[in-house]
Structure 1
Amino acid sequence: MYTVKHVDRVEAAENSLRVEFELHRRQGVIMLSTFLPSGLLLLVSWATLFVQVTALNVRAIMSLTTLLVLYTLFSNMSNSLPATASIKLIDVWFFFIIFLLFTNIVVHICVRPTPPPKKDVSTFLPAQPQIPREPEPPRLLRWYRLVVLPVLVGLFNLTFWVVVFIQ
Protein backbone atom coordinates (compact mmCIF):
# COMPACT_ATOMS: atom_id res chain seq x y z
CA MET A 1 0.00 0.00 0.00
CA TYR A 2 2.89 2.39 0.67
CA THR A 3 6.35 3.16 -0.66
CA VAL A 4 9.14 4.43 1.57
CA LYS A 5 10.90 7.60 0.42
CA HIS A 6 13.51 9.96 1.84
CA VAL A 7 15.06 7.78 4.52
CA ASP A 8 17.30 9.94 6.70
CA ARG A 9 19.40 8.91 9.64
CA VAL A 10 19.41 11.68 12.18
CA GLU A 11 21.98 11.64 14.99
CA ALA A 12 20.42 11.62 18.40
CA ALA A 13 21.76 10.93 21.88
CA GLU A 14 24.64 8.50 22.24
CA ASN A 15 22.48 5.46 23.12
CA SER A 16 19.76 6.04 20.53
CA LEU A 17 19.30 6.30 16.84
CA ARG A 18 16.63 8.33 15.11
CA VAL A 19 15.47 7.53 11.57
CA GLU A 20 13.06 9.69 9.60
CA PHE A 21 11.26 8.49 6.49
CA GLU A 22 8.21 9.36 4.42
CA LEU A 23 5.47 6.92 3.51
CA HIS A 24 3.71 7.62 0.22
CA ARG A 25 0.48 5.93 -0.69
CA ARG A 26 0.59 4.13 -4.03
CA GLN A 27 -1.88 6.01 -6.22
CA GLY A 28 -2.54 3.19 -8.67
CA VAL A 29 -3.82 0.95 -5.90
CA ILE A 30 -6.30 3.60 -4.76
CA MET A 31 -7.50 4.26 -8.30
CA LEU A 32 -8.07 0.57 -9.04
CA SER A 33 -9.55 -0.39 -5.67
CA THR A 34 -11.69 2.66 -4.92
CA PHE A 35 -12.41 5.13 -7.70
CA LEU A 36 -12.83 2.65 -10.57
CA PRO A 37 -15.31 0.34 -8.75
CA SER A 38 -17.34 3.25 -7.37
CA GLY A 39 -17.44 4.87 -10.82
CA LEU A 40 -18.59 1.60 -12.38
CA LEU A 41 -21.31 1.25 -9.75
CA LEU A 42 -22.47 4.76 -10.57
CA LEU A 43 -22.63 3.78 -14.26
CA VAL A 44 -24.71 0.69 -13.42
CA SER A 45 -27.07 2.84 -11.36
CA TRP A 46 -27.30 5.35 -14.19
CA ALA A 47 -28.07 2.50 -16.64
CA THR A 48 -31.11 1.57 -14.54
CA LEU A 49 -32.62 4.89 -15.58
CA PHE A 50 -32.78 3.55 -19.15
CA VAL A 51 -34.60 0.31 -18.25
CA GLN A 52 -38.25 0.18 -19.28
CA VAL A 53 -40.38 2.36 -17.05
CA THR A 54 -42.85 -0.47 -16.52
CA ALA A 55 -40.14 -2.75 -15.07
CA LEU A 56 -40.05 -1.16 -11.61
CA ASN A 57 -38.89 -4.36 -9.89
CA VAL A 58 -35.83 -4.67 -12.13
CA ARG A 59 -34.94 -1.00 -11.73
CA ALA A 60 -35.43 -1.06 -7.96
CA ILE A 61 -33.45 -4.25 -7.36
CA MET A 62 -30.53 -3.08 -9.52
CA SER A 63 -30.47 0.35 -7.86
CA LEU A 64 -30.64 -1.01 -4.32
CA THR A 65 -27.94 -3.57 -5.05
CA THR A 66 -25.56 -0.93 -6.38
CA LEU A 67 -26.19 1.22 -3.30
CA LEU A 68 -25.50 -1.69 -0.93
CA VAL A 69 -22.33 -2.72 -2.78
CA LEU A 70 -21.09 0.87 -2.79
CA TYR A 71 -21.75 1.22 0.93
CA THR A 72 -19.80 -1.99 1.56
CA LEU A 73 -16.91 -0.63 -0.50
CA PHE A 74 -17.03 2.62 1.46
CA SER A 75 -17.11 0.79 4.79
CA ASN A 76 -14.12 -1.37 3.86
CA MET A 77 -12.18 1.65 2.63
CA SER A 78 -12.96 3.62 5.80
CA ASN A 79 -11.79 0.75 8.00
CA SER A 80 -8.47 0.56 6.16
CA LEU A 81 -7.66 4.26 6.66
CA PRO A 82 -6.42 5.87 9.86
CA ALA A 83 -9.18 7.22 12.08
CA THR A 84 -9.35 11.01 12.08
CA ALA A 85 -11.80 13.58 13.36
CA SER A 86 -11.84 15.43 10.06
CA ILE A 87 -13.60 14.54 6.84
CA LYS A 88 -11.25 13.10 4.23
CA LEU A 89 -11.60 13.65 0.48
CA ILE A 90 -12.37 9.97 -0.01
CA ASP A 91 -15.34 10.45 2.35
CA VAL A 92 -16.59 13.33 0.19
CA TRP A 93 -16.26 11.12 -2.89
CA PHE A 94 -18.27 8.29 -1.37
CA PHE A 95 -20.89 10.58 0.19
CA PHE A 96 -21.54 12.15 -3.20
CA ILE A 97 -21.80 8.81 -5.03
CA ILE A 98 -24.06 7.39 -2.29
CA PHE A 99 -26.22 10.51 -2.53
CA LEU A 100 -26.54 10.05 -6.31
CA LEU A 101 -27.44 6.38 -5.99
CA PHE A 102 -30.04 7.23 -3.36
CA THR A 103 -31.44 9.97 -5.62
CA ASN A 104 -31.69 7.46 -8.47
CA ILE A 105 -33.76 5.18 -6.23
CA VAL A 106 -36.06 8.09 -5.34
CA VAL A 107 -36.47 8.91 -9.03
CA HIS A 108 -37.39 5.29 -9.75
CA ILE A 109 -40.03 5.40 -7.04
CA CYS A 110 -41.49 8.74 -8.16
CA VAL A 111 -41.62 7.98 -11.88
CA ARG A 112 -44.74 6.35 -13.18
CA PRO A 113 -45.27 5.42 -16.82
CA THR A 114 -47.48 7.83 -18.73
CA PRO A 115 -50.70 6.16 -19.83
CA PRO A 116 -51.09 5.59 -23.56
CA PRO A 117 -53.38 8.05 -25.35
CA LYS A 118 -57.02 7.01 -25.52
CA LYS A 119 -58.14 5.71 -28.86
CA ASP A 120 -60.90 7.45 -30.74
CA VAL A 121 -63.80 5.01 -30.79
CA SER A 122 -65.74 7.00 -33.37
CA THR A 123 -63.74 5.54 -36.25
CA PHE A 124 -63.82 1.90 -37.05
CA LEU A 125 -60.70 0.29 -38.41
CA PRO A 126 -60.27 -3.35 -39.27
CA ALA A 127 -58.58 -5.32 -36.52
CA GLN A 128 -54.85 -5.52 -37.06
CA PRO A 129 -52.36 -7.14 -34.76
CA GLN A 130 -50.75 -4.42 -32.73
CA ILE A 131 -47.35 -4.69 -31.14
CA PRO A 132 -47.51 -3.21 -27.64
CA ARG A 133 -45.27 -0.18 -27.44
CA GLU A 134 -43.25 0.84 -24.44
CA PRO A 135 -44.82 3.98 -23.00
CA GLU A 136 -42.75 7.12 -23.33
CA PRO A 137 -40.75 7.83 -20.16
CA PRO A 138 -41.99 10.85 -18.23
CA ARG A 139 -40.28 14.19 -18.79
CA LEU A 140 -38.74 14.14 -15.28
CA LEU A 141 -36.95 10.86 -16.03
CA ARG A 142 -35.74 12.01 -19.46
CA TRP A 143 -34.30 15.25 -18.05
CA TYR A 144 -32.79 13.58 -15.01
CA ARG A 145 -31.02 10.77 -16.86
CA LEU A 146 -29.82 12.82 -19.85
CA VAL A 147 -29.09 16.24 -18.34
CA VAL A 148 -29.24 16.53 -14.54
CA LEU A 149 -27.25 13.45 -13.52
CA PRO A 150 -24.45 13.79 -16.12
CA VAL A 151 -24.04 17.51 -15.34
CA LEU A 152 -23.92 16.84 -11.58
CA VAL A 153 -21.34 14.09 -12.03
CA GLY A 154 -19.25 16.21 -14.38
CA LEU A 155 -19.25 19.28 -12.12
CA PHE A 156 -18.47 17.22 -9.04
CA ASN A 157 -15.59 15.41 -10.77
CA LEU A 158 -14.15 18.65 -12.06
CA THR A 159 -14.28 20.22 -8.59
CA PHE A 160 -13.11 17.09 -6.77
CA TRP A 161 -10.05 16.43 -8.94
CA VAL A 162 -9.04 20.09 -8.95
CA VAL A 163 -9.09 20.03 -5.15
CA VAL A 164 -7.18 16.72 -5.09
CA PHE A 165 -4.37 17.98 -7.29
CA ILE A 166 -4.14 21.41 -5.67
CA GLN A 167 -3.51 19.97 -2.20
Structure 2
Amino acid sequence: MAIGYATYFLKSSLIQDRLIVSLTSLLVLLTLFSQVGDTLPKTSYVKMIDDWFLFTIVLLLFIILSHMFIDISNERILIISKGDNKTSKYIPTAAQVHKILRYILVPGVFVVFSLIFWLIMVYQP
Protein backbone atom coordinates (compact mmCIF):
# COMPACT_ATOMS: atom_id res chain seq x y z
CA MET A 1 0.00 0.00 0.00
CA ALA A 2 2.80 2.39 0.88
CA ILE A 3 4.60 1.69 -2.38
CA GLY A 4 1.45 2.42 -4.37
CA TYR A 5 0.94 5.66 -2.45
CA ALA A 6 4.60 6.61 -2.94
CA THR A 7 3.99 6.84 -6.67
CA TYR A 8 2.27 10.18 -6.03
CA PHE A 9 5.68 11.58 -5.12
CA LEU A 10 7.27 10.75 -8.48
CA LYS A 11 7.41 13.45 -11.14
CA SER A 12 4.25 13.88 -13.18
CA SER A 13 6.22 13.37 -16.38
CA LEU A 14 7.10 9.80 -15.32
CA ILE A 15 3.61 8.44 -16.00
CA GLN A 16 4.87 5.07 -17.23
CA ASP A 17 6.97 4.51 -14.12
CA ARG A 18 4.13 5.57 -11.85
CA LEU A 19 1.70 3.21 -13.56
CA ILE A 20 4.12 0.28 -13.62
CA VAL A 21 4.88 0.58 -9.90
CA SER A 22 1.20 1.00 -9.01
CA LEU A 23 0.12 -1.96 -11.15
CA THR A 24 2.89 -4.14 -9.73
CA SER A 25 1.88 -3.32 -6.17
CA LEU A 26 -1.75 -4.09 -7.08
CA LEU A 27 -0.76 -7.46 -8.52
CA VAL A 28 1.28 -8.29 -5.41
CA LEU A 29 -1.66 -7.34 -3.21
CA LEU A 30 -4.01 -9.52 -5.28
CA THR A 31 -1.60 -12.44 -4.90
CA LEU A 32 -1.44 -11.93 -1.14
CA PHE A 33 -5.23 -11.77 -0.99
CA SER A 34 -5.49 -15.03 -2.90
CA GLN A 35 -2.92 -16.81 -0.70
CA VAL A 36 -4.43 -15.58 2.55
CA GLY A 37 -7.91 -16.52 1.37
CA ASP A 38 -6.75 -20.06 0.61
CA THR A 39 -5.24 -20.56 4.06
CA LEU A 40 -8.24 -19.31 6.06
CA PRO A 41 -11.22 -21.53 6.77
CA LYS A 42 -14.14 -21.23 4.39
CA THR A 43 -17.07 -19.37 5.95
CA SER A 44 -20.35 -18.00 4.66
CA TYR A 45 -19.67 -14.50 5.99
CA VAL A 46 -17.11 -11.88 5.05
CA LYS A 47 -14.11 -11.75 7.35
CA MET A 48 -12.38 -8.55 8.45
CA ILE A 49 -9.24 -9.49 6.50
CA ASP A 50 -11.40 -9.63 3.37
CA ASP A 51 -12.64 -6.11 4.10
CA TRP A 52 -9.07 -4.88 4.56
CA PHE A 53 -7.85 -6.44 1.32
CA LEU A 54 -10.88 -5.20 -0.61
CA PHE A 55 -10.30 -1.66 0.64
CA THR A 56 -6.60 -1.68 -0.24
CA ILE A 57 -7.30 -3.14 -3.69
CA VAL A 58 -9.93 -0.48 -4.39
CA LEU A 59 -7.62 2.27 -3.10
CA LEU A 60 -4.74 1.08 -5.30
CA LEU A 61 -7.11 0.91 -8.25
CA PHE A 62 -8.14 4.50 -7.48
CA ILE A 63 -4.47 5.52 -7.38
CA ILE A 64 -3.90 3.98 -10.80
CA LEU A 65 -6.98 5.67 -12.26
CA SER A 66 -5.97 9.01 -10.74
CA HIS A 67 -2.54 8.74 -12.36
CA MET A 68 -4.22 8.23 -15.72
CA PHE A 69 -6.63 11.13 -15.05
CA ILE A 70 -3.76 13.45 -14.14
CA ASP A 71 -1.93 12.55 -17.33
CA ILE A 72 -5.04 13.02 -19.51
CA SER A 73 -6.01 16.29 -17.81
CA ASN A 74 -2.47 17.60 -18.22
CA GLU A 75 -2.73 17.04 -21.99
CA ARG A 76 -6.20 18.60 -22.06
CA ILE A 77 -5.02 21.76 -20.26
CA LEU A 78 -2.22 22.11 -22.80
CA ILE A 79 -4.74 21.85 -25.65
CA ILE A 80 -7.08 24.38 -24.03
CA SER A 81 -4.24 26.83 -23.38
CA LYS A 82 -3.18 26.70 -27.04
CA GLY A 83 -6.59 27.90 -28.24
CA ASP A 84 -7.44 31.56 -28.80
CA ASN A 85 -10.74 31.33 -26.94
CA LYS A 86 -10.11 32.52 -23.35
CA THR A 87 -12.83 31.52 -20.93
CA SER A 88 -13.28 32.69 -17.35
CA LYS A 89 -13.89 29.17 -16.02
CA TYR A 90 -11.53 27.96 -13.34
CA ILE A 91 -9.91 24.70 -14.37
CA PRO A 92 -7.56 23.21 -11.80
CA THR A 93 -4.24 22.20 -13.22
CA ALA A 94 -3.01 18.64 -13.10
CA ALA A 95 -0.43 19.65 -10.50
CA GLN A 96 -3.14 21.03 -8.22
CA VAL A 97 -5.22 17.88 -8.54
CA HIS A 98 -2.09 15.83 -7.91
CA LYS A 99 -1.36 17.76 -4.68
CA ILE A 100 -4.94 17.37 -3.45
CA LEU A 101 -4.81 13.62 -4.06
CA ARG A 102 -1.34 13.29 -2.56
CA TYR A 103 -1.80 15.28 0.63
CA ILE A 104 -5.54 15.29 1.39
CA LEU A 105 -7.77 12.75 -0.34
CA VAL A 106 -5.85 9.46 -0.32
CA PRO A 107 -4.32 9.83 3.18
CA GLY A 108 -7.67 11.05 4.53
CA VAL A 109 -9.59 8.09 3.13
CA PHE A 110 -6.94 5.70 4.45
CA VAL A 111 -6.98 7.20 7.95
CA VAL A 112 -10.79 7.22 8.16
CA PHE A 113 -11.02 3.62 6.98
CA SER A 114 -8.26 2.52 9.37
CA LEU A 115 -9.95 4.17 12.33
CA ILE A 116 -13.32 2.58 11.53
CA PHE A 117 -11.71 -0.79 10.82
CA TRP A 118 -9.75 -0.91 14.07
CA LEU A 119 -12.66 0.41 16.15
CA ILE A 120 -14.78 -2.43 14.80
CA MET A 121 -11.96 -4.91 15.46
CA VAL A 122 -11.48 -3.78 19.06
CA TYR A 123 -15.14 -3.50 20.03
CA GLN A 124 -16.46 -6.53 18.16
CA PRO A 125 -17.79 -9.19 20.56
Shorter-chain TM-score category?
0.7 to 0.9
Which structure has the larger Rg over C-alpha atoms?
Answer: 1
In structure 1, the residue matched to 2:97 is: 140
TM-score (norm 1): 0.61
The residue aligned with 1:84 is: 43
Q: How far apart in 1 are the matches of 2:69 and 2:10?
A: 15
Aligned length: 108
Give TM-score, length-normalised by structure 2: 0.81
Task: Please list every run of 5 or more consecutive structure 2 residues that lacks an aligned counterpart in the other structure.
Answer: 83-92
Q: Secondary structure at the match of 1:111?
A: helix
Relative contact order: is structure 1 or structure 2 higher (C-alpha 8 Å, sep ≥ 6)? 2
Sequence identity (%): 35
Q: Let me know the Cα RMSD of the aligned residues.
A: 1.7
Could you tell me how far apart the structure 1 residues matched to 2:102 and 2:37 are? 30
If each structure's helix is expressed as a fraction of its own residues, which one has the higher value?
Answer: 2
**Per-residue deviation at 1:138?**
2.2
Runs of 4+ in 1 over 4 A off after TM superposition: none
- 1:64 and 1:78 mapped to 2: Cα distance? 21
Unaligned segments of structure 1, at least 5 residues: 1-41, 119-135
